[in-house]
């Protein structure tokens, strides 16, 4: 979809340097991007959300241990 959107702009009227960049952008947009965890596991939105939520929970737990003050 991004590829088609890029193609619809008037790229043929742009300077040569921009044409080259547009061409590279179109080529890169044909391959889907993905985020990996240590290059051995592909992260999906659900997994990323779970990891982020767990990390936030651990952070809050550690923060609560550090803020305990005895009076």
43 contacts 51 by C-beta, under 8 angstroms: yes
Using alpha carbons, select from 31, 34, 54, 30 the residue that is nearest to residue 42.
34
The pLDDT tens digits of the residues spanning 28-65 come to 888 887 888 888 888 888 888 998 999 999 999 999 88
What is the reported pLDDT for 69? 61
What is the reported pLDDT for 59? 95
Question: Dihedral of the CA atoms 65, 67, 70, 71 (nearest 10)?
Answer: -160
Backbone angles phi, psi at 42, to 5 degrees: -85, 125
7 contacts 26 by C-beta, under 8 angstroms: yes
User: 7: pLDDT confidence band, cut at 50, 70 and 90?
Assistant: confident
Residue 71 has pLDDT above 60, yes or no: no
């Amino acid at each position: 979809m991004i590829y088609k959107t890029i193609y619809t702009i008037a790229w043929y009227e742009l300077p040569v340097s921009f044409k080259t960049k547009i061409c590279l952008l179109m080529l890169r947009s044909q391959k889907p991007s993905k985020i990996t965890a240590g290059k051995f596991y592909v992260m999906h939105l659900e997994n990323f959300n779970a990891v982020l939520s767990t990390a936030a929970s651990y952070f809050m737990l550690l923060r609560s241990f550090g803020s305990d003050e005895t009076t």
